[in-house]
């Protein structure tokens, strides 16, 4: 029996009858400020079964009361007429990204008993960024009466020797094809294959080795509770699944909950060391602040840091109105520059209530906003992806919006379904 990544009944359409490109849709938390993207997607897929009809884009979260009943109705309809059950399955997935690189992953279920999103968690599955508790209830309501879940959760494993996913990749030609099609709007291509029993057993054994105390000491040089899965994408979706499971467990008791489908969550596992997986920093842009006051208070904040000296100094570049000011934090308390920046911004916005913060990808985008909006941009060195696990182990969850794993078009698409009721 698999202990770490668990085979579950996976539901897919018959792709001989259903257009895969119209079936698949990008994760609900993308394009949140671009409703036109979603309207175009609905228009494209309107004459075909689509996961778009089974999810609520966050761009339309304010319309949840109207949309959720129709989503739940569509789930029941698709279970009766569109979806086919593939019992106790895992899928090996090759995702060709928009840049042509191939990202490899395994779709299976994780046990929510092994996950805790709260600060200070030392479970096998942990959040990589702070969970905003206010974001959980509306997402729980989306899931509460749903018959199905679809995963956009991406779990990361720290497997530099490539012992889990890559051996499956070598043997993938012998596995039965689950799906193989292009994704909409130039988002690349997906090819999924059902993993056989031996492959699933090999995955579990390799994950067990990664979760050992010996492996923790070897990789991180410390004795610590093992961290096997770090939530790379979809943390609030996973947290919502956990919150609802805990509600259900409180109602039906531990014994009944042990075998309840809500105990598990479907996800894709990707190796942190996959060459196609790239981390990009997420910068900060500050709106509505007086520049002189901001620079003065940031400089004072930097001078008062009292770290132990084990962490290298951090340079933050502040840009506004063609002016550049570099602030050096000589004794940072956070391992990451973004942590130091966020610590200051949290303090600053408490004192200056009218100030707003936005989280921006790309230096050029930051410079463009600063020029147009009379704002202050904060640039800093991003986190290297090989720093992720040790930072989460030592510091706990990262500051919100620390990094992004690629562009929106390359995020996980909804394809697979699992019954949760």
Can you give the pLDDT at residue 160?
96
Residue 120 CB-density burial (10 A; 0-12 exposed, 13-18 middle, 19+ buried): exposed
Q: Do 346 and 210 reside in the same domain of the chain?
A: no
Number of domains in the chain: 2
Q: Do 145 and 174 reside in the same domain of the chain?
A: yes
Q: Does residue 1 belong to any structural domain of this protein?
A: no
- Partnered with residue 257 across adjacent β-strands are none
Can you give the pLDDT at residue 105?
98
> Containing H/E element for 280?
strand 280-287
Distance CA 122, CA 216 (A): 13
Q: Do 325 and 374 reside in the same domain of the chain?
A: yes
pTM value is 0.88
Four-residue CA torsion sign, 405, 196, 11, 421: negative
- Residues 303-314 have pLDDT tens digits of 999 888 888 999
Distance CA 18, CA 194 (A): 19
**In the block, which residue shows the tokens 């979809």?**
234
3-state secondary structure (DSSP) of residue 214: helix
DSSP string spanning 141-196?
A: HHHHT-SEE----EEEE--TT--SSHHHHHTGGGSEEEEEEEPGGG--EEEEEE--
Q: Give me the count of residues in the chain.
A: 421
Q: Do 244 and 352 reside in the same domain of the chain?
A: no
Q: Do 189 and 251 reside in the same domain of the chain?
A: yes
Q: Do 270 and 341 reside in the same domain of the chain?
A: no
Q: Does residue 37 belong to any structural domain of this protein?
A: yes
Rounded to the nearest 5°, which phi and psi values hold at 165?
A: -85, -40
**In the block, which residue shows the tokens 């303090």?**
347
Q: Do 345 and 357 reside in the same domain of the chain?
A: yes
Distance CA 334, CA 183 (A): 40
Q: Does residue 347 belong to any structural domain of this protein?
A: yes
Q: Do the Cβ atoms of 90 and 203 come closer than 8 Å?
A: yes
Name the residue range of residue 329's domain. Answer: 280-382
The two structure tokens encoding residue 121: 């968690």
Q: Do 62 and 202 reside in the same domain of the chain?
A: yes
Q: Do the Cβ atoms of 247 and 261 come closer than 8 Å?
A: no
Q: Do 262 and 325 reside in the same domain of the chain?
A: no
Q: Do 241 and 371 reside in the same domain of the chain?
A: no
- Partnered with residue 358 across adjacent β-strands are 285
Distance CA 60, CA 260 (A): 30
Q: Does residue 108 belong to any structural domain of this protein?
A: yes
Can you give the pLDDT at residue 361?
80
Q: Does residue 388 belong to any structural domain of this protein?
A: no
Half-sphere exposure of 324 (CA within 13 A, CB side): 7
Helical packing angle, 136-144 and 235-252, nearest 10°: 60
The two structure tokens encoding residue 37: 């993207």
Q: Do 290 and 142 reside in the same domain of the chain?
A: no
Of 146, 170, 111, nearest in space to 28 by CA? 146
Distance CA 209, CA 285 (A): 42
Q: Do 234 and 342 reside in the same domain of the chain?
A: no
CATH for 325 = 3.30.1760
Residue numbers of the chain with a pLDDT score lower than 50: none
| DSSP for residue 119 | T
Of 109, 115, 128, nearest in space to 388 by CA? 128
Can you give the pLDDT at residue 14?
97
Of 414, 314, 322, nearest in space to 28 by CA? 414
3-state secondary structure (DSSP) of residue 171: coil
Distance CA 175, CA 195 (A): 6
Q: How far is CA 251 from the centre of its chain?
A: 29
Of 228, 4, 260, nearest in space to 108 by CA? 4
Four-residue CA torsion sign, 386, 169, 407, 156: negative
Can you give the pLDDT at residue 376?
96
Can you give the pLDDT at residue 399?
83
Distance CA 188, CA 185 (A): 8
Q: Does residue 151 belong to any structural domain of this protein?
A: yes
Q: Does residue 402 belong to any structural domain of this protein?
A: no
Distance CA 232, CA 226 (A): 17
């Amino acid at each position: 029996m698999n202990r770490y990544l668990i085979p579950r009944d996976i539901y897919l359409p018959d792709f001989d009858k259903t257009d895969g490109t119209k079936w698949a849709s990008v994760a609900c938390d993308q394009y949140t400020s671009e409703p036109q993207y979603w309207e175009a997607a609905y228009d494209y897929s309107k004459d075909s079964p689509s996961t778009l009809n089974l999810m609520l884009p966050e761009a339309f979260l304010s319309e949840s009361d109207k949309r959720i009943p129709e989503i739940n109705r569509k789930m029941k309809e698709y279970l009766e007429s569109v979806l086919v059950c593939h019992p106790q399955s895992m899928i090996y997935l090759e995702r060709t990204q928009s840049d042509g690189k191939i990202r490899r992953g395994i779709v299976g279920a994780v046990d929510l008993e092994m996950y805790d999103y709260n600060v200070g968690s030392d479970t096998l599955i942990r959040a990589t960024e702070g969970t905003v508790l206010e974001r959980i209830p509306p997402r729980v309501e989306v899931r509460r009466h749903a018959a199905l879940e679809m995963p956009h959760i991406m779990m990361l494993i720290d497997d530099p020797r490539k012992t889990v996913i890559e051996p499956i990749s070598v043997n993938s030609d012998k596995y039965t094809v689950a799906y193989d099609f292009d994704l909409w709007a130039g988002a690349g291509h997906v090819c999924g294959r059902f993993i056989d029993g031996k492959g699933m057993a090999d995955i579990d054994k390799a994950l067990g080795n990664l979760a050992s105390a010996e492996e923790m000491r070897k990789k991180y040089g410390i004795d610590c509770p093992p961290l096997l899965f770090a939530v790379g994408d979809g943390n609030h979706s996973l947290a919502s699944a956990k919150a609802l499971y805990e509600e259900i467990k409180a109602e039906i008791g531990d014994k009944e909950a042990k075998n309840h489908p809500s105990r598990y969550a479907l996800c894709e596992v990707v190796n942190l060391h996959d060459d196609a997986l790239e981390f990009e920093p997420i910068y900060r842009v500050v709106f509505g602040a007086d520049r002189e006051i901001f620079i003065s208070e940031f400089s004072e904040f930097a001078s008062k840091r009292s770290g132990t000296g084990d962490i290298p100094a951090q340079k933050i570049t502040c840009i506004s109105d063609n002016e550049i000011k570099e602030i050096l934090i000589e004794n940072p308390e956070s391992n990451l520059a973004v942590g130091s920046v966020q610590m200051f911004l949290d303090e600053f916005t408490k004192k200056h209530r009218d100030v707003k913060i936005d989280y921006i990808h790309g230096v050029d985008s930051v410079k463009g906003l600063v020029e147009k909006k009379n704002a202050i941009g904060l640039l800093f060195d991003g986190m290297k992806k090989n720093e992720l696990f040790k930072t989460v182990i030592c510091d706990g969850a990262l500051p919100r919006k620390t990094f992004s794993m690629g562009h929106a078009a390359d995020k996980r698409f909804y394809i697979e379904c699992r019954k949760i009721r």
